[in-house]
Amino acid sequence: MKNITKKITRISTVLTASILSAALPLTALAAQNSPDDNTYQPKDVQTVDYKKSLTPEFAYSAEKWATLRDNIMEYGELADLIHEYNPTVLSNRSTYKDQKNKNLNDIYDDYMKDIDDIWDQADNADNDVTWASLRYSAGLLTKQADNNYEDAEMEKIQYDQQEAALVYQAQQMMVSLQQAEDNIKNLENTKALLQSQYEFTRAQAAAGMATQIDVLTAQKSVQDQDTAILAAQKNKENVHRNLCLMLGWDADAQPEILAVPEPDMSRIDTLNPDGDAEAALANNYDVRYYEKKAGNLSSQDLIESNQASIQNAKDTAVRSLKTQYNTVLTARDALNAAQSQLAAEQSKLNKASASLAAGQITNLEYQTTLNAVMTAESDVNTKKLQLLVALEGYDWNVKGLTTSN
């Protein structure tokens, strides 16, 4: 029995040191790095020369390499930039390149041979206590082997899933950056109006038509707007810095950042979550991971648990696709409402222009109407960006990335 105990200890040590620990699929990665959390921090990455891509030069044309290596950030290049220059992806690619050449099946087979030896000794046990103890030890080792076994294909599925989630995150962050720029412009326009209102209030106070409290209140509104502008600028800087780091630039780099594309409204009527569910299930990273794991299991307890994981992943994938479809519809309706509001504000501005020319309203009243138009325009731009992200999320679900639970 002492020899068996030593063998169990040795096997456990070998597995701990040699076999990749089984990590759960990265279903929640997109949520962990949502656009509301713009602090990108690569975790536990190897030391890799991030200035160089791991892809051989012949993999792309000279023209494509030139676009990836220029100092211009384009929305359509995000996937390639993540693949070539993201620290986490480079680390995963380097690790996988090393691991795929190691025959994990040999390690697993040796492990199972030792378990078979324990079973043989159990069959030859001379008493029930020894027999039961050996059978229990063999069962534990079988579960441990199943739980820790992860072949190269399973590892690749996880790495691909993480890369896809990072691309989606980069898309959201680039959208957030453009939205931050629009927000700053809108805040500055509003500040100009508040400043005019402050000056008008001061003039009113000088004429005895407003109180000092009115003046101080108007002044406080301008100061509060300055604070909001500074906060918005800080947020933009954070998003800019983290996005640059994600894509291979230095934190203080200043690449030219092109505008994100307009959402394709014509696509919305062609979306079919029921019809796309089949592709979403076939591509889903979690489903593929657990189905691949199913072929590697020996312990009945783990087989049943893994089967439950497969079904849960399928249910989640379909539910996420339908949720994202509803998000698209909601974003479309919000954009339509914002565009209607903009049309109404523009109509008011046309009337205000005529009234100003006729001397029927003051310049401040006209500026107030003009600011309402600019605010409505900013809202339309925001709703367009939100619809773009919603459509991207739908496409990612079809391609296998679960974006919600």
For 186, counting Cβ atoms within 10 Å of its Cβ (0-12 exposed, 13-18 middle, 19+ buried), the class is buried
Alpha carbon 73 to its chain's center: 18
Is the CB of residue 182 less than 8 Å from the CB of residue 378?
yes
E strand intervals along 114-185: none
Sign (positive/negative) of CA torsion 225, 227, 232, 236? positive
The per-residue pLDDT for range 49-101, each reduced to its tens digit, is 444 677 888 888 999 999 999 999 999 999 999 999 999 999 888 887 766 65
Question: Is 13 among the domain residues?
Answer: yes
Residue 73, helix vs strand vs coil:
strand
Is the CB of residue 157 less than 8 Å from the CB of residue 285?
yes
Question: Is 386 among the domain residues?
Answer: no
Half-sphere exposure of 317 (CA within 13 A, CB side): 29
Is the CB of residue 239 less than 8 Å from the CB of residue 175?
no
Alpha carbon 185 to its chain's center: 26
* Phi, psi (rounded to 5 degrees) for 52: -120, 145
% of the chain exceeding 90 in pLDDT:
65
Number of domains into which the chain is organized: 1
Residue 117 belongs to domain spanning:
1-18+86-149
pLDDT band at 103 (very low <50, low <70, confident <90, very high): low
Question: Is 92 among the domain residues?
Answer: yes
pLDDT band at 102 (very low <50, low <70, confident <90, very high): low
Question: Is 342 among the domain residues?
Answer: no
Question: Is 130 among the domain residues?
Answer: yes
The per-residue pLDDT for range 2-43, each reduced to its tens digit, is 333 333 333 333 333 333 333 333 333 333 344 344 443 443
Question: Is 179 among the domain residues?
Answer: no
Q: Which two tokens stand for residue 78?
A: 């995000």
Question: Is 186 among the domain residues?
Answer: no
Task: Note the pLDDT of residue 142.
Answer: 64
Question: Is 131 among the domain residues?
Answer: yes
261 vs 28 pLDDT, higher one: 261
E strand intervals along 211-313: 256-257
* Phi, psi (rounded to 5 degrees) for 19: -100, 140
pTM for the complete prediction? 0.77
